[in-house]
Amino acid sequence: MLGWQIGLARALGAVLFSVIIGLIMALLFRGEEKERAKGLLMPEGEESSRTLRQTVLYFLVLVLVLIFASWSKPAEQAGFWHAVYSAKWYLVIALLLALSVILKAWFKREELSAWVNSTWDFSIKILPLLFGGVLVAGFLMGRPGVDTGIIPARYVALVVGGNSLLANFTASIVGAFMYFATLTEVPVVQGLIGSGMGQGPALALLLAGPALSLPSMLVINSVLGFKKTFAYVSLVVIMATLTGMVFGTIVG
């Protein structure tokens, strides 16, 4: 939908976000955390039937299935990327066979049953939201590259076009305060890109959107308090803005 570059940048950015923001929050509030840790009693964890290496291999196979199954056709009709595209379904089948062996050997029947039930529950919740997001994005922005939506493309290009600091900051603020249900941000951003949104602001919106929303801010504030909530929101907006600017500069 959005291209592998922005998908890879979002995946890496989300991981770096969690690490960097977590470290900064721990540094800012280290005194409070020390006081809180003194009164905590940690329960004994259940021993896993799998080793760390087995768990890592299991998740690696799952990630590779997603990567190769969604591998898009490259512009060039030759080379390594096209070879991967030509063989992607063979790779997916091989990975699924490996996954079935892993599940049979390393997982209990109760775990597999819980996995299937969770997958079904998430599908029921997510798919209607995804289709709704596509429908709303189509009405507001029209088809990508065609100015047929309710919102004129020139307005989108004026506010979040290019790769300026203001464009990335605006996209981060909008993403932070808007509520994006899971996966609905993808068709929305695709419509915005088709209307003139820059790649940098698009990534900023994709990073800030799932991390925050106005309802989540209210919940976080009720749990952590205003000071920590303000620090967290500020860090998300700043990191999304800077990451968007760097990405926009790299991809041009």
Tell me what pLDDT residue 98 has: 95
Judge contact between 206 and 241, C-beta under 8 A. Answer: no
Mean pLDDT of the chain: 81
How sure is the predictor about 123, in pLDDT bands with cuts at 50, 70 and 90? confident
How sure is the predictor about 138, in pLDDT bands with cuts at 50, 70 and 90? low
Tell me what pLDDT residue 157 has: 74
How sure is the predictor about 34, in pLDDT bands with cuts at 50, 70 and 90? low
Whether residue 116 is predicted with pLDDT greater than 70 in this model: the reply is: yes
pLDDT, tens digit (0-9, with 9 covering 90-100), for 186-199: 777 777 787 788 88
| CA 80 – CA 84 distance, rounded (Å) | 6
Specify the 3-state DSSP secondary structure of 164: coil
Whether residue 225 is predicted with pLDDT greater than 90 in this model: the reply is: no
Percent of the chain, pLDDT > 90? 18
Tell me what pLDDT residue 97 has: 96
Sorted by where each begins, the domain ranges of the chain are: 128-252
| CA 163 – CA 22 distance, rounded (Å) | 27
Backbone angles phi, psi at 81, to 5 degrees: -65, -40
CA distances from 115 to 15, 103, 192 (A): 24, 11, 35
Picking from 27-36, 116-125, 160-169, 178-187, which range would have the lowest pLDDT averaged per residue? Answer: 178-187
**Mean pLDDT for the stretch of residues 35-63:** 74
